[in-house]
Amino acid sequence: MAETVLVEKSGRVAILTINRPDKMNALSEQVRVELLAALAEAERDEGVGVVVLTGAGEKAFIAGADIGEFAGRTPFDQRAAMRTPRIFDVMATFPKPVIAMINGFCLGGGCELAMSCDIRVASDRASFGQPEINLGLIPGGGGTQRMPRLIGLGQAMRLILSGDRIPVAEAKEIGLVDLVFPHEALREKTLELATRIAARSPLTLKVAKEAVRASERLAIEEGLMWERDLFCLCFSSADKQEGVEAFLAKRPPAWTGR
């Protein structure tokens, strides 16, 4: 069976490419299994500091779940297919930063996967939407929960209830994407950002991501307490020692991830 997830390395950045361009990189069961395996390997590999997720070809990032697999499924079949671990949650809690490099259609489960990533960088040709309503469905990959947290209740309602597809400029305006680049420059610009992040201490990156992610589930008082505890925990790391000493000695820090 052909590989549906390609993995390449650029320095400390692992680039995972969903490779079903003739099916708009739809998230089949095989893609999900291979993506989980690629993420597990990227987690194990100390040479990987940041993961970039993208889609093969010029048209699509990911056009959603594989609709062909929905036909004829019973609720029990569907429940089995949605067993944990779910790629959306694995992405959101992955212990290294994950950047979605959105090169085209970013729809349904593709948009939900992008929302589960830490940063969304898009091509000026990308478009976005949650079209499940057109299939008699609702988003099932966390969209009804992550989208309102990211772009607010009203905009999330508009996109989920209408199923409308919006262009990248609008997605940027409402905060669904963070950075937009000309299509031809997308890879270079995304890798520049990823490489810059991957040069930081992996230990401190992990703690920073955990602290920011806590804001999705904690009330402000608990979140601020959690931040203070994690900030103080950093004082036990060799990298905090190194970072402060390097600053005071006016030299670049050499991180060890300890």
Contact residues for ligand COA, defined by CB under 6 A: 23-24, 26, 63-68, 105, 107-108, 131-132, 135, 137
Taking the least distance from each CB to ligand COA, the nearer of 23 and 125 is 23
In the complex, the smallest distance separating the C-beta of residue 67 from ligand COA, rounded to whole angstroms, is: 4
Distance CA 202, CA 206 (A): 6
Query: Which uninterrupted H or E stretch holds 31?
Result: helix 29-44
Taking the least distance from each CB to ligand COA, the nearer of 40 and 81 is 81
- Nearest-Å Rg of the Cα atoms of the chain is 19
Whether residue 14 contacts residue 98, with contact meaning beta carbons closer than 8 Å, is answered with no
Taking the least distance from each CB to ligand COA, the nearer of 49 and 64 is 64
Helix (H, G, I), strand (E, B) or coil at 123: strand
132 assigned to active site = yes
Helices 238-248, 202-214: axis angle to 10 degrees equals 110
Of 8, 43, 58, 112, catalytic: 112
In the complex, the smallest distance separating the C-beta of residue 130 from ligand COA, rounded to whole angstroms, is: 8
Taking the least distance from each CB to ligand COA, the nearer of 137 and 246 is 137
In the complex, the smallest distance separating the C-beta of residue 191 from ligand COA, rounded to whole angstroms, is: 26
Whether residue 125 contacts residue 138, with contact meaning beta carbons closer than 8 Å, is answered with no
**Residues 10, 185, 206, 148, CA torsion sign:** negative
In the complex, the smallest distance separating the C-beta of residue 108 from ligand COA, rounded to whole angstroms, is: 3
CB contact set of 225 (below 8 Å; sequence gap of 6+): none
Of 3, 132, 227, 242, catalytic: 132
Q: Which residues are catalytic?
A: 112, 132
